[in-house]
């Protein structure tokens, strides 16, 4: 069994990959791989990265949805006030004017 890593690396400024050639320490499919190129490790890292990305994406989506809901609710509340309690709406408007 070869004991150098068969993974490929891209030297800086090169347009062709080179064989990694580091001494491998992790076995996979009849080869010894370095920690960087060991396929199951690479896969696990990628999976962790995409899970992280997905969680971030979902959190952002949720936040946007909440913001949209809050904005819609504010608009509905204001419209209701203007229709049913215009004096309260005016009072609120005055307060906002004073605050800013």
Shortest Å, Cβ 18 to Zn ion? 10
Given the complex with Zn ion, which of 29 and 87 has the nearer CB atom? Answer: 29
Dist CA 4 CA 23 (whole Å): 4
* Structure-token pair, residue 58: 């979902």
Shortest Å, Cβ 6 to Zn ion? 8
Given the complex with Zn ion, which of 22 and 28 has the nearer CB atom? Answer: 22
Residues that bind Zn ion (CB under 5 A): 5, 7, 20, 22, 34, 37
- The secondary structure of 21-76 as a DSSP string is -PBP-EEETTEEE-TTT-HHHHHHHHHHHHHHHHHHHHHHHHHHHHHHHHHHHHHH
Given the complex with Zn ion, which of 20 and 89 has the nearer CB atom? Answer: 20
Shortest Å, Cβ 54 to Zn ion? 28
């Amino acid at each position: 069994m070869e004991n150098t890593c068969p993974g490929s690396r891209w030297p800086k400024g090169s347009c062709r990959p080179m064989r990694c050639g580091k001494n491998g320490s992790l076995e996979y499919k009849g080869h010894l791989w370095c920690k960087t190129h060991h396929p199951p490790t690479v896969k696990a890292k990628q999976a962790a990265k995409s899970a992280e990305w997905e969680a971030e994406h979902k959190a952002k989506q949720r936040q946007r949805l909440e913001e949209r809901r809050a904005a819609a609710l504010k608009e509905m509340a204001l419209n209701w006030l203007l229709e049913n309690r215009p004096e309260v709406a005016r009072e609120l408007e005055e307060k906002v004017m004073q605050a800013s």
